[in-house]
Amino acid sequence: MPYIELHCHSAYSFLDGASLPVELAAAASEQGHRALALTDHDGLHGAMEFAQAARPLGLRPITGAELTLDDGSHITLLCESRAGYTNLCRLITRAHEGTRERPSEPEPPSIPLEDVERHAEGLVCLTGCARNGALAARVERGEHAGAAAVGRRLLHAFGPERLRVELQRPFARHDRRRNRLLAELAERLGVPCVATGNVHVHARSRVPLQDALAAVRLGTTLDESEPGRRGNASHVLAPPSAMAARFPEHPEAVGESGRIAERLEFDIMRDLGSRRSCGSSARSGCPASSCSTATCSSWRVRWQWRCAARTPLGRSCRPGAGAARASPRSSATSRASRTSTRSRTGC
C-alpha cells in the first residue's frame, strides 16, 4: 500500500506552516501522491480552499486538524464521515471558547481530553507529532505509565479501528528509540502504528521562511530560536517513495497510512460544498469562487498555481473578469493571521 501523507500544515497554521494550500496541492500532485490530509492547528481555516485546489489535480483531499489538549500535547483528528466533521467542528469551537475575553491578548486554544472522548464519533485519531504528541512527548520524557494511560483513554474513545499510534522521523536525537517505544506501546494497546511526515512546507525553497516564522512565533532571533526550529528539511513534503525509505524499521506503518486514507471517505466539497453552477463553464473570466464545477475549479487552480510559482514568498493572484491579468493578494502569513491563532508551540 503506497504512503499517504496524513499530517500536513499550511500557512493557516499561523507562524508555523509556510505554504499555501494551493502550493501543497500542486506539489503533492507533481510528486505522485494520490491523497493528502490538511491538518492545520486547531482549525479548518484552509480546508475548503485546499479541497478546491486538490480536486482538479486528481488529488483526493482529506479533512482534519491537529488539536491542542489542555496539557499542551497534540493529537491529529481526521474526518471519516460527516458526523466526524460535525464533531471536529464542535471540538474546535470548544477549544477556542473563552480565548478572546481580552482581544488584545488572546489565549492559545486548547481542549480537555474529556471533550475529545465525548465527540469521537466519525473521527480517526492519530496520537500526535514527535515533539508534542500526546504519547510521543510523554515517551520522550520517560513518562511511560502516563503515555500508556492516555493511550488507553484514546483507545476507549475511538476503538481499535479508529486509533493509530503516530510515528515520525524528524531526524532528531532519539528518533529510533522513541519510535521503537511507541511501537511497543501500540502493540500493548492492540492498535497499529502509522507513519506521518509532519509537513510544514511544499518545497525546500520555503524552509528559510518557515524558520523566520518560527522565530517570530517564539519571539527571538533566528540564532536564539534554533533549538525550537526544525533544523533540517524533514518537514518538506516528500514523495511517497522517499517517505517509505524514511521508515525502514516500520514498513507496516508506511502501508497503514494508505489503508487509513482509504477509510476516510468524507469529502468536504461533495458533502458540504456549494452546488451552484456558473451556467457557462466556457465563459471567460468565470468567477470560480462562486462555482463548484470541475471546469471552473480547474481554471482557478491553474491561475493560483501560476501566480504562486512566480511569487516565491507565497503571494498569489486572481484573474480579472474577461482578461488574464493578475492583481496582488495578501501573503501567506497575512492571510492566515485573519483566520488562525497565534501559538508558541508549533508542531
Distances (CA, A) of 332 to 192, 204, 298, 312, 340: 36, 16, 21, 11, 12
CA dist 198 and 241 (Å) reads 16
pLDDT given for residue 274 in this prediction = 52
Q: How many CA atoms lie within 13 A of 280 on its CB side?
A: 5
pLDDT(321) > 50: no
Decide: 165 and 191 in contact? Cβ < 8 Å. Answer: yes
Q: What is the pLDDT of residues 108-127, one digit of tens each?
A: 999 999 999 999 999 999 99
Choice between 115 and 217, residue whose per-residue pLDDT is larger: 115
Q: What is the pLDDT of residues 93-102, one digit of tens each?
A: 999 999 988 8
What is the pTM for the complete model shown?
A: 0.80
Q: What is the pLDDT of residues 28-83, one digit of tens each?
A: 999 999 999 999 999 999 999 999 999 999 999 999 999 999 999 999 999 999 99
pLDDT(245) > 60: yes
Domains in the chain, ordered, with CATH?
21-271 (3.20.20.140), 275-333 (no CATH)
For the residues 319-324, what does the mean pLDDT come to? 41
Confidence bin at 221 (pLDDT 50/70/90):
confident
pLDDT(335) > 60: no
Question: Apex CA 63: angle with CA 319 and CA 23, to 5°?
Answer: 35
pLDDT given for residue 27 in this prediction = 98
CA dist 304 and 136 (Å) reads 37
